[in-house]
A and B are shown apart, each in its own frame.
Chain A
Amino acid sequence: MTLTSQLTRGEVEPGAIWPNADFSRVPSKVYTDPDIYSRELDRIFYGRHWNYVGLEAEVPEAGNFKRTAIGERSVIMIRNRQGEINVLENRCAHRAMRFCQEKFGKVKTLVCPYHQWNYNYDGKLLGVPFQRGVRGNGGMPEDFRLEDHGLPTLKVARRGGLVFASFDNDVEPLEDYIGPAVLAYFDRTFNGRKLVVQGYSRQRIPGNWKLMMENIKDPYHPGLLHTWFVTFGLWRADNQSQLVMDERGRHACMISTRSEVVDPEVTKGVTSFRRNMKLNDPSLLDIVQEEWWNGPTVCMTTVFPSVILQQQVNSLSTRQIIPVGPDKFDFVWTHFGFENDSDEMTERRMHQANLFGPGGLVSADDGEVIEFSQQGFEQDQDFTTMCELGGTEIGNADHMVTETLIRGMYRYWREVMDI
């Protein structure tokens, strides 16, 4: 029986495509199969999960909106007159028009240009032209009620300046969803200080969306792939580090502290380590310790399924994952600082951004390796990954030489996907 027919019948036997009882082997189809992807959209992105939509600072005043997407559904984050933030589906109740085409803006009402159906900031339909007809002719039926035809409104949660939304009203509170262990690190950055947007980077990566989640649950690669991390100690196997998961294994933090002294054991044979590499512009690494770090120089947080929260020395960003098919996703970086940052600190954050993003001296190659992993999965559909670094167990760790966080994510993924 093919996987496709199993899935469309909705009766996938757990283990039918999964080769092992544990989580140390992930089959190619998990990254390539359109039916699995479609189930992910339904159960994960449109299901009982919180998805990142943006920063409160992006919609400072009533009527300010930002258009973004959850899974493949276009949504609008908009602030109302009470100062609340709503997330509305960008789909007119009349002819399904994705009426909002600008990415940001400020409006008096949301109007679908096709027939001028008009919605307020809460998504309520305010009126439709010719509702009562013209000169006694036509118009909407007697029982037409404006209140039955609003825009779909999502459940919204805000914390520390970030906005999350869910298509499922019964989703647990955001704090319970993230869980206390990861929430502590979330709050370390987003502790109520006002955030300031510093700009966006947008890239389309031809790979399955989970590969980006895996990339930031994989502490093994940064000290090998990324010369700049290894050489300058920003991420290296001898750094003091911690891996922390929520109870269900879906979210995680990779926390580490930069070491200036190099342990020869971890650079031996690592070709990306360049002992004599010197910067011509040393200001790139003009790192200034900030009080709120409380030690760690880096904290990379994955909030399943849609966002990565980056603190890497002075560079801060949210990285949103928007899947556009099983084999590609858009990756949207929102760089930010804090309201009280000095001009020098803003400049420093921006200068360090040379390491990150689609052109980053570090992050550019993450997109590249994801693309080539995807190509490998496509060419060998019977392949399974090897994910046994640190054994087959799932648990927190105080070192980097483990893939435990990836196994943790797949334990949860199998549970929610019933695969």
Chain B
Amino acid sequence: MTSNFQDLASLIALHAEYAACIDEQRFADWPGFFTEDCHYRVVARENHEAGYPLAIMSLKGIGGLQDRVYGVTSTVFHAPYYQRHIIGLPRVTACDGDSLSVEANYLVIRTRRDMLSEVYNTGRYIDRIVRTKMGLKFAEKLCIFDSELIPNSMIYPI
């Protein structure tokens, strides 16, 4: 099902850039990884598997992502923390012209001020990635997390 070696290299680079953007808290740049009419969702595995529609975050279009960024950076009170994303190798599950279906495991470590680092959230991305003139962009990004309990809150994107 895999497309070609060049695609795979581009997907690895995309994930690396994506992780760096979030982990370095360049949140204003985060919507730039997505298409104009994207859909970004963070969903508990139990809801995903049971077919329930509820998400922790369900953001539509670049505008929805920008609203979240405004919320995260300007309005939602929270203890500051670092995130560190470890993203596994991409697994291309379908390739249809300029649209790639790609999955990858992820692990997010959270480090709060004065605290030990902890496994914060773990799961898998199920993405639909499209080729655009601006390079590869996420048309859909679904973060399905195994974690049964969110340690208090989830503020920043995954």
Contact = CB atoms under 8 A, between A and B. Distances in A.
Contacts of A359: 42, 56-57, 150, 153-155
B67 interface: yes
B111 interface: no
B77 interface: yes
Given A200-B44, A280-B66, A361 B71 contact: yes
A205 interface: yes
Interface in A333-377: 335, 346-347, 350-351, 353-354, 357-359, 361, 364-365, 367-369, 371-372
Interface stretch (B45-53, B90-98, B123-131): B45-53
Given A103-B46, A361-B71, A201 B78 contact: no
Given A281-B61, A281-B63, A368-B77, A206 B54 contact: no
Contact of A353 (B58, B61, B63, B70): B58
A280 B64 contact: yes
Interface string B140-158: 0000000011111111000
Contacts of B71: 227-228, 361
A199 interface: yes
Given A103-B46, A201-B44, A284 B53 contact: no
Interface in B22-76: 42, 44, 46-47, 50, 52-64, 66-68, 70-71, 74-76
A199 B53 contact: yes
Contacts of A358: 56, 150, 152-154
A191 interface: no
**Interface residues of B, dominant DSSP:** mixed
A21 B152 CA distance: 35
Contacts of A357: 56
**Interface residues of A, dominant DSSP:** mixed
Indicate the size class of the contact surface on chain B. Answer: 35 or more
A100 to B, nearest CB: 16
Indicate the size class of the contact surface on chain A. Answer: 35 or more
B152 A280 contact: no
A288 B13 CA distance: 43
Nearest to B147: A202
A162 interface: no
Given A202-B148, A281-B63, A368-B152, 9 more contacts: A203-B149, A203-B151, A203-B152, A227-B71, A228-B75, A357-B56, A361-B75, A367-B152, A369-B77
Interface of A: 103-104, 197-206, 225, 227-228, 272, 274, 277, 279-281, 283-284, 330, 335, 346-347, 350-351, 353-354, 357-359, 361, 364-365, 367-369, 371-372
28 contacts: A104-B50, A198-B52, A199-B54, A200-B44, A200-B46, A204-B150, A204-B152, A206-B152, A225-B77, A227-B76, A272-B75, A277-B70, A280-B62, A280-B64, A284-B67, A335-B54, A350-B53, A351-B58, A354-B55, A354-B57, A354-B59, A358-B152, A359-B57, A364-B154, A365-B78, A365-B153, A368-B153, A371-B152
